[in-house]
Chains A and B, each alone.
Chain A
Amino acid sequence: MSAWTERQRSILDFALSSLLRRAGRNVSLLAVYTAVVFLLASTMFLLSALRREAALVLADAPDVVVQRLVAGRMDLVPVAYADRLRGMRGVRDARPRLWGYHYDATRKATFTLMVPLESAPKEGTVVLGAAAARLKGTAVGRQIPLRTHDGSTRSLTVGWILSSESELVAADLLLLSEADFRAITGIPAGSATDLVLSVPNERERGTVAAKIARELPDTRSVLREEVLRTYDAVFGWRGGMVTVLLAGALFAFVIFAWDRASGLSAEERREIGILKAVGWETSDVILLKTWEGAAVSLTAFLAGTLLAYAHVFFASGTLFARVMKGWSVLYPDFRLVPAVDPYQVATLMVLTVLPYAAATVLPTWRAATVDPDAVMRS
């Protein structure tokens, strides 16, 4: 072992002994630090997995959705609009889409009613999302009554239940035939909730949207790229979710780093004074404190990140479940596909380890450059 390595090991030994002398204080410090990293890393893992899932799954969302607006609110769109759009250059197909919400007063839950674009169930049959089936406590072959727009009840037979692996996109769905949908919602024939367009050429979609705005001024178009960008923004670092989840953790960390940076304890000052008095150089004292800071911050970073990984990907983010559920009665039961971005982990390390190390070294340098006698007497 080279002299340099041995010197570092010896200083590290001394730093660890110094930390253990104040075990109570340092263990609580380590616990708080680990908890802050855990919260930051859990949020980062959760968002990165959700962003990845949204990007992969919604890559097959409709190319363009056309909604009709009346007095600034979404309104039913005439099916005849689809015929006009079908003839537009760049548009391969335009289809009316039927969907809406259905409030179940007994269970206080809102389901999404929908007529699938492909292979809709036959009349009198309903296909349930897994969470909807769980909440309704039903099974294949059983009847479920649905209250219609005029107050009557329409009973539908459960044809099948969508697999639980589709919960992230279809947990609350009730898939119906067009006839059942219109009977329940009261949406008249000739109207639809919105239109979906097939515009195969990605570069033409913006032009098509502009043309639609000119030809049908009471509509607005939502492109697939906008859908994807919405989810990218929602689960991005600047999204509302991060602001809410991270604000507490960041404040805790700022207070914590400020406490460290604002000065050393009398005991630590005396220790530095003694070390200087017995012949330690200022650089040795700074090295000692750097090792102390590194030992605490590295341990907290690694432990916090590992715990966060286990929390999000093995325990399905249990601690965030309440926040995510909000007031929802229907909530999908899903396990996220792990997605770890090395760049994000490195950023987290830089953001949590370096400020702490700097906050430890700076006051040490101030104390170590003062006369040992003055430090010990202060």
Chain B
Amino acid sequence: MKSGTGVRKSSVFLGVTFVQAALLGLCFLHAGRAGEAARPAVARRAATVKALGLTDLCLFTDASYTRHLALADGHAPFQEHPASLEHFPAGSLAGPPERLGR
């Protein structure tokens, strides 16, 4: 079965799928290369962590317990008033520290 230009529809589909699959393969390749290229920058970030004595990534700066996730205590999100609910959006994204889950 051929399209108006004389090319089989299956050939077009298989061609497009092949190109997409090849691009996905290139993504893996790109990720590997970029990971290698970023190694010195990652090492510098690790050196900053060591020199400053940091414990956390600076991802969520809206509340102390989301800024320093690893050091937060269990009731920090609920300290504003009795029975208060989680206040900051980041609190629902980040979750409690691992040691409090045990």
Interface residues of A (CB under 8 A from B): 9-10, 12-14, 16-17, 20, 50, 53-54, 56-62, 65, 67, 69, 72-74, 95, 97, 101, 109-110, 112, 114, 116-119, 129, 131, 162-163, 165-173, 175, 194, 196, 222, 226-227, 229-234, 239-241, 244, 295, 298-299, 302-303, 305-306, 309, 313, 323-324, 326-332, 337-340, 342, 345
Which residues from chain B contact A222 at a C-beta distance below 8 Å? Answer: 55, 70-71, 97, 99
In the complex, A230→B59 CA distance in Å?
14
Residue numbers in A under 8 Å from B50 (CB-CB): 60-61
User: Is A67 touching B54 in the complex (CB atoms < 8 A)?
Assistant: no
User: Known: A196-B53, A303-B20. Contact between A331 and B61, CB under 8 A?
Assistant: yes
Q: Which residues on A sit within 8 Å (CB–CB) of B54?
A: 58, 61, 169-170
The tally of residues in B whose CB lies under 8 Å from a CB in A reads 59
B81 at the interface (CB under 8 A from A): no
Task: State whether A306 and B62 are in contact (beta carbons under 8 Å apart), knowing that A12-B10, A169-B45 are contacts in the complex.
Answer: no
Instruction: Report the bound CA distance from A170 to B49 in whole Å.
Output: 8
Contact with A along B69-91 (1 / 0, CB 8 A): 11101010000000000001110
Of B46, B49, B54, B99, chain A has the most CB atoms within 10 Å of the CB of B54
Task: Give me 15 A-to-B residue pairs in the complex whose CB atoms sit less than 8 angstroms apart, sorted by A's number.
Answer: A12-B10, A16-B13, A53-B57, A56-B46, A57-B46, A129-B58, A166-B44, A169-B54, A172-B61, A222-B99, A240-B94, A326-B90, A330-B61, A338-B30, A340-B27
Q: How far is the CA of A172 from the CA of B64 in the complex (A)?
A: 12
Is B88 in contact with A326, judged by CB distance below 8 angstroms?
Answer: yes
Report the bound CA distance from A332 to B45 in whole Å. 14
Which residues of the partner chain B approach A226 to less than 8 Å between Cβ atoms?
70, 97-99
Q: Please tell me if the beta carbons of A338 and B75 are within 8 angstroms of each other in the complex.
A: no
Give the interface of B toward A (CB within 8 A): 1, 8-10, 13-14, 16-17, 20-21, 23-24, 27-28, 30-31, 34-35, 38, 41-42, 44-62, 64, 66-67, 69-71, 73, 75, 88-90, 92-95, 97-99, 101
Name the distance in Å between B43's Cβ and chain A's nearest Cβ: 8
Tell me the nearest residue of chain A to B51, going by C-beta: A118
Residues of B within 8 A of A74 (CB): 71, 73
Question: Contacts A61-B55, A114-B52; is A302 near B34 (CB within 8 Å)?
Answer: no
The residue of chain A having its C-beta at the shortest distance from the C-beta of B74 within the complex is: A72
- Tell me the complex Cα distance, A169–B8, Å: 54
Interface of B is mostly: helix
Task: Return chain B residues, CB-CB under 8 Å to A306.
Answer: 20, 23-24, 27
Find out whether the CB atom of A328 lies under 8 angstroms from the CB atom of B61.
yes
**A324–B53 contact, CB under 8 A?**
no
Other A-B contacts than A14-B1, A101-B67, A234-B69, 6 sampled, CB-CB below 8 A, are A13-B1, A116-B53, A165-B41, A166-B44, A169-B58, A328-B62
Given contacts A16-B9, A57-B45, contact A338 B93 (CB under 8 A): no
Task: Please measure, in the bound complex, the distance between the C-alpha atom of A97 and the C-alpha atom of B75, giving whole angstroms.
Answer: 23
- How long is the Cα–Cα vector from A117 to B52 in the complex, in angstroms? 5
Q: Given A60-B47, A226-B70, A231-B57, A12–B13 Cβ distance below 8 Å?
A: yes
Determine the distance from Cα of A54 to Cα of B69 in the docked complex, in whole angstroms.
Answer: 12
B56 → A minimal CB distance (Å): 8
On whether the beta carbons of A166 and B94 are closer than 8 Å, the reply is no
Beta-carbon contact of A240 and B92 below 8 Å: yes
A337 touches B61 (CB 8 A): no
What distance in Å separates the Cβ of A160 from its nearest Cβ neighbour in chain B? 13
Q: How far is the CA of A9 from the CA of B98 in the complex (A)?
A: 53
**Is the Cβ of A240 less than 8 Å from the Cβ of B93?**
yes
Q: Report the bound CA distance from A329 to B60 in whole Å.
A: 10
Contact of B20 among A72, A95, A166, A299 (CB under 8 A): A299
Minimum Cβ distance to chain B for residue A40 (Å)? 15
Bound: A173/B57 CA distance, A: 12
A5 and B53 alpha carbons, distance in the complex (Å) = 63
Q: Out of A57, A101, A163, A345, which one reaches B49, CB within 8 Å?
A: A57
A110 to B90, CA, bound (A): 15
Give bound CA distance, A230 to B71, whole Å. 10
Chain A residues with CB under 8 Å of B20's CB are 299, 302-303, 306
Whole-angstrom distance between the alpha carbons of A298 and B19 in the complex?
A: 12
Per the bound structure, the CA–CA distance linking A58 and B9 in Å amounts to: 52
